[in-house]
Amino acid sequence: MIPKKYSKRDGYTFEETTLSKKVIAGIVVYFFTNPVFPEYIYIALDDCSICGRGDVVNLLDHDESSMEFVPLARIDELVLNVPTQDDFCDYFIDRYGKINIDDISKEMAREFWDNFVWEFALNVKGINIEWSR
């Protein structure tokens, strides 16, 4: 499947793309504790000269005009149920009683993400998303 070209200025439209659930979930896990998450974490929905489809685009690192012709979706537009820090902590409070976020080990965090039920969008800004594993 070769998607149509995306442009805000002319009549071409970008109608569909394919992304990997595993990759997008990994991006959420990786950036979850980053203070700019999810506000500035975007995913490229198509290939271009600056990035490839599925790449992370941190708008703090890119001039907005350089990304004008790249279809982007904010990470929480792709993953519909991105947990908050409170959701993350509540999981451990429910399982282990009162807990400080600093006491959550990597193994405990992995347990949270292994048990997390992901909800992925089927359409973002009029672009249909086909999900691969």
Tens digits of residue pLDDT in 63-95: 555 566 678 899 999 999 999 989 999 999 999
**Low-confidence stretches of the chain (pLDDT beneath 70):** 1-13, 62-69
pLDDT at site 97: 86
Contact 38, 82 (CB under 8 A): yes
**Residue 54: how many other CB atoms lie within 10 Å:** 17
Where exactly are the structural domains of the chain?
Answer: 16-128
pLDDT at site 57: 87
pLDDT at site 107: 93
